[in-house]
């Protein structure tokens, strides 16, 4: 069923007038909006808005506020734990807003519903690229800016939220506000990596850099994780590579340790292999070195994910665990993880990934990280297939890993499938909690926005 107005059962029947888009309440649409990539949590909404304009979002938020209805944006549904789901509320399908409004030499102004893949398809022909791109490009701009947006280049350029120049936001009052580091800064900082709690990102101005045309890929093997971690730290300290990530993959009953180092270039310039490999502790003879275009590198996950879909693995639950671990505890943490996680829970498609970070590259207060100067994002990309243990057991183990890492001063990346209470979130935000809660009270005083993460539960704003 589709309509251009919405009526809600309540004290009065009060429709949203004159929508440019449509509201959908058919069974397939509601069932789809009650699911996500994680396939672990399911919360069924009462309607899905496909906005035809930003005004549609503002009107629908105002409607939801009048009726005490929860509402939340949904990008490409890549969440792991129901964060974009809204029980008995309204889900906003942001994909219908995907226009590029303007592009200059150092910035691009885009709708929040556009995917990063669609964006780079427009910027690369102009010789431009965002500084940070997630490994999987078919995510929405608004979705990743609500979470953080990490990359193997984050040790150099921070995360995606560190590269935003301006936002257009619809607040929980249904107001349209433009914000930046110099204009409504409180809202700007409460929205970037703010999980949709204070406002819905509808448009963003992003920083651009000159794009390389090619990359040289160094895929290096290691005998043990200690050497791999040592080389990752060495590589980000001296800056020899433009992109660095470690990978631990089950192979033949053993763990295989590899590091990917990427050097960007534009011919006739070429990277010097000897300089880039000097002093690294990889196993000689394990290295695989190749060249490809910059776009081929950015788009490298499309073929394997097509194979994953062909095999039916995308339909299985993905209770992923994403923890930001202090570098001083990482070797100990990995040793425990590799004893506790079964080989069958991972695969070459979904392994363990290790992204190194430098804390001084990060500028946004809500992207919470360890206090140490260097740390790693550890992504444990488990799949609950019929051959492995069930998803509930994996989620419970995620919680154990979360608590262990937290006891060392670590944090988590908010996309994770980890059950968290309001008090857990309060502790997560730590010194910035009071400012975040104040922004929530100011911009979403009736607590209608994005209930999925459970950050501000009933009474939390009192």
Q: How far apart are CA 74 and CA 55, in angstroms?
A: 17
Give the pLDDT score at 313: 86
Other Cβ atoms closer than 10 A to 371:
11
277 three-class SS: helix
Q: Where are the beta strands (DSSP E) in 238-287?
A: 243-251, 254-265
Cross-strand partners of 111? 203
Buried b (16+ CB within 10 A) or exposed e, 194-217: bbbbbbbbbbbbbbbbebbebbbb
Give the pLDDT score at 312: 87
Output DSSP code: residue 438.
H
Q: How far apart are CA 452 and CA 306, in angstroms?
A: 29
Buried b (16+ CB within 10 A) or exposed e, 323-356: bbbbbebbeebbeebeeebeeebbbebbbbbbbb
Give the pLDDT score at 6: 54
Q: How far is CA 102 from the centre of its chain?
A: 24
Q: How far apart are CA 351 and CA 46, in angstroms?
A: 36
Sequential DSSP letters for 306-335: HHHHHTTGGGS----EEEEEEHHHHHHHHH
Helices (H), 220-278: 225-238, 273-277
Give the pLDDT score at 209: 98
Q: Which residues contact 67 (CB under 8 A, 6 or more apart)?
A: 8, 10, 14
Give the pLDDT score at 15: 61
Give the pLDDT score at 3: 55
By the 8 A CB rule, do 216 and 282 touch? no
pLDDT tens series, the chain, 462 aa: 555 555 554 434 456 667 999 999 999 999 999 999 999 999 999 999 999 999 999 999 999 999 999 999 999 999 999 999 999 999 999 999 999 999 999 999 999 999 999 999 999 999 999 999 999 999 999 999 999 999 999 999 999 999 999 999 999 999 999 999 999 999 999 999 999 999 999 999 999 999 999 999 999 999 999 999 999 999 999 999 999 999 999 999 999 999 999 999 999 999 999 999 999 999 999 999 999 999 999 999 988 988 988 988 899 999 999 999 999 999 999 999 999 999 999 999 999 999 999 999 999 999 999 999 999 999 999 999 877 778 999 999 999 999 999 999 999 999 999 999 999 999 999 999 999 999 999 999 999 999 999 999 776 665
């Amino acid at each position: 069923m589709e309509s251009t107005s919405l009526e809600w059962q309540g004290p009065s029947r009060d429709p949203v007038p004159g929508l440019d888009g449509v509201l959908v309440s058919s069974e397939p649409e509601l069932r789809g909006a009650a699911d996500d990539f994680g396939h672990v949590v399911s919360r069924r909404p009462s309607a899905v808005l496909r906005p035809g304009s930003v005004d549609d979002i503002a009107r629908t938020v105002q409607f939801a506020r009048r009726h005490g209805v929860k509402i939340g944006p949904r990008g490409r549904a890549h969440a792991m734990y129901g964060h974009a789901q809204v029980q008995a509320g309204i889900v906003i399908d942001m994909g219908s807003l995907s226009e590029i409004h303007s592009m200059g030499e150092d910035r691009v102004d885009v709708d929040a519903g556009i995917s990063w893949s669609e964006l780079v398809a427009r910027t690369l022909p102009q010789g431009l690229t965002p500084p940070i791109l997630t490994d999987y490009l078919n995510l929405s701009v608004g979705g990743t800016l609500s979470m953080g947006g990490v990359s193997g280049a984050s040790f150099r350029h921070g995360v995606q939220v560190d590269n935003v120049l301006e936002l257009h936001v619809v607040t929980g009052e249904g107001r349209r506000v433009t914000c930046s580091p110099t204009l409504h800064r409180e809202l700007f900082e409460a929205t970037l990596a703010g999980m949709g709690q204070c406002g819905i990102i509808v448009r963003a101005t992003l920083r651009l850099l000159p794009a390389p045309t090619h990359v040289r890929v160094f895929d290096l093997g290691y005998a043990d994780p200690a050497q791999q971690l040592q080389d990752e730290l060495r590589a980000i300290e001296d800056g020899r590579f433009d992109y660095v990530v470690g990978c631990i993959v089950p192979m033949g009953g053993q763990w295989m340790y590899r590091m990917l180092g990427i050097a960007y270039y534009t011919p006739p310039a070429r990277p010097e292999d000897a300089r880039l490999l000097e002093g690294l502790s990889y196993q000689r003879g394990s290295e695989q070195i190749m060249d490809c275009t910059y776009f081929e590198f950015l788009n490298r996950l499309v073929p394997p994910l097509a194979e994953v879909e062909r095999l039916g693995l995308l339909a299985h639950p993905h209770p992923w665990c994403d923890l930001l671990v202090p570098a001083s505890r990482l070797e100990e943490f990995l040793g425990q993880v590799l004893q506790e996680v079964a080989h069958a829970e991972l695969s070459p498609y979904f392994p363990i990934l290790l992204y190194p970070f430098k804390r001084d590259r990060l500028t946004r207060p809500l992207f919470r990280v360890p206090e140490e100067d260097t740390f790693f994002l550890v992504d444990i990309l488990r799949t609950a297939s019929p051959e492995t243990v069930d998803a509930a057991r994996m989620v419970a183990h995620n919680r154990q890993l979360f608590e262990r890492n937290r006891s060392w001063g670590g944090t988590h990346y908010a996309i994770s499938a980890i059950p968290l209470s309001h008090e857990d979130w309060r502790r997560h935000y730590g010194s910035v909690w009071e400012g975040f809660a104040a922004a929530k009270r100011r911009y979403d005083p009736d607590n209608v926005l994005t209930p999925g993460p459970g950050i501000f539960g009933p009474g939390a704003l009192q």
